[in-house]
Chains A and B, each alone.
Chain A
Amino acid sequence: MATETQGGDAAHGEGGGLVFHPMDQFIVKPLFGDGGVGLFTVTNATLWMALAVLCVIGLMVLGTSGRGIVPGRVQSVAELAYGFVYKMVEDVSGRDGVKYFPYIMTLFMFIVFANFLGLIPMAFTTTSHFAVTVVLALAVFLFVTILGFVKHGAKFLELFWVASAPLALRPILAIIEVISYFVRPVSHSIRLAGNLMAGHAVIKVFAGFAAIAAVSPISVLAITAMYGLEILVAFIQAYVFTILTCVYLKDALHPHH
């Protein structure tokens, strides 16, 4: 992939042709024409987000259109996804968290499909961009914070007041708790985008090495191994994002430690 793009104009300068452009895959470019990227421009990001939406519709709507008592292949996957997220919300956030299950399901389905679609060669990984993950994480953060204050009012602040700790320690703990609370969206978003970006960039670096005949078999093996790892990461990061959302939701619903 990397070698293709460098073929034309990367020849000048380097003699061996060993040029790495691991970050080129993350460039956002318009799908039609060569103009700039405006707010409403249809870009490759638009395309791959739309594909994720179509995949969600395909799995969750078309896959279940049979409404079989004995599910088919696609329907059982859809039911598996439903049961997986539902159980996660119920177990982590509690019975009263089930009300917010559609929101969490939306996040999970989008992230998991964006991650897996990004693994298709030449694809654009929408979730590798901070712009995307920060919006997701901020949405969770704002939703959870507002929900906490709406549900408990000022008592929501008890989340930062560790009643079980010795009185002398409580103010210090409160400062730490507040800091950790506001760091949540940062870690929440960077974890997802960072994992995907790093994995995809490493695959590109290995692909760059494939240009040298002597190491290309090792390079291909390494790409294969990384790809397997990336499949794992694609699911695990979606899972981690979702379960952390459930944990934050639990804090908003039950702020007492």
Chain B
Amino acid sequence: MATETTAESASACVGPNGSAIGMPQLCGEWVGNQVFWLILALVAIYFVLDRVALPRIQAILAERQGTITSDLAKAEELKAQAEEAERAYEKALAEARSEAQKIAEETRAEIRQQVQDAQDKADAEIAARTAESEKQIAEIRASALANVETVAKDTAEALVAALGVNADKSALDAAVDKRIEG
């Protein structure tokens, strides 16, 4: 360490004005110090990393991976459930629809049947009434015809009597009958 050239400087590598002589990197007297502290620093970093930091980060990453995996699995499960629910809903909807269709069909048939029955009944009644009316009309017509004969005969008798002719009743009736038919 003793040097003749530098009186004030403590090192052989530093000039009297405080600047370096040559490359400080090649100064032999600083090597030991740096190596010593470097080894100390490296050992410190190694222990900190190996004992604390790296296992901790590894655990964090593993935990995150686990969380992601389980979350994905959960999401998959929920998706399956949702799909299942959708299928059930679709099935229920289809069933309800077919049920409704069936009920509507049944109701329609029932109503049709009722309408048919009512119509048949009404038809029968109408027919019965018509027949009865026809019968009455025929009776009326027959009685009217009979009345016409009687009235015609009576009228003819009265006319003949009024004319002063004493005519035979049966001959008059026959003549009236003949007129009516002619």
Contacts and interface: CB of A to CB of B under 8 A. Distances in A.
A95 to B, nearest CB: 16
A191 interface: no
Interface residues of B, number: 47
B25 A197 contact: yes
A27 B25 CA distance: 8
A36 B27 CA distance: 13
A220 interface: no
Nearest to B33: A37
A9 B18 contact: yes
Contact of B45 (A10, A36, A101, A106): A106
A41 B54 CA distance: 32
Contacts of B167: none
Binding site of A, secondary structure by majority: helix, strand, loop or mixed? helix
Contacts of A56: 45, 48-49, 53
B60 A64 contact: yes
Interface stretch (A44-52, A210-218, A246-254): A44-52
A257 interface: no
B49 A105 contact: yes
Given A27-B14, A53-B44, A109 B30 contact: no
Interface stretch (B61-69, B94-102, B127-135, B152-160): B61-69
Interface in A157-172: none
B34 A64 contact: no
Interface string A1-16: 0000110011000000
A29 B14 CA distance: 10
A78 B55 CA distance: 12
Interface of A: 5-6, 9-10, 21, 23-24, 26-29, 34-41, 43, 45-46, 49-50, 52-53, 56-57, 60-61, 64, 67-69, 71, 75, 78-79, 82-83, 101-103, 105-107, 109-110, 126, 128-132, 135-136, 139, 193, 197
11 contacts: A23-B20, A23-B24, A28-B27, A28-B34, A43-B30, A43-B34, A46-B33, A53-B48, A109-B45, A132-B34, A139-B42
Give 9 nearest A-B pairs by CB, closest first.
Answer: A60-B53, A26-B24, A49-B41, A28-B30, A131-B31, A131-B34, A102-B50, A106-B46, A23-B20
Interface of B: 1, 10-11, 13-14, 17-20, 22-27, 29-42, 44-46, 48-50, 52-54, 56-61, 63-64, 67
Given A23-B22, A130-B25, 16 more contacts: A24-B18, A27-B14, A27-B20, A29-B14, A37-B29, A39-B33, A43-B30, A60-B53, A75-B60, A102-B46, A106-B45, A107-B42, A126-B38, A129-B24, A135-B35, A136-B38
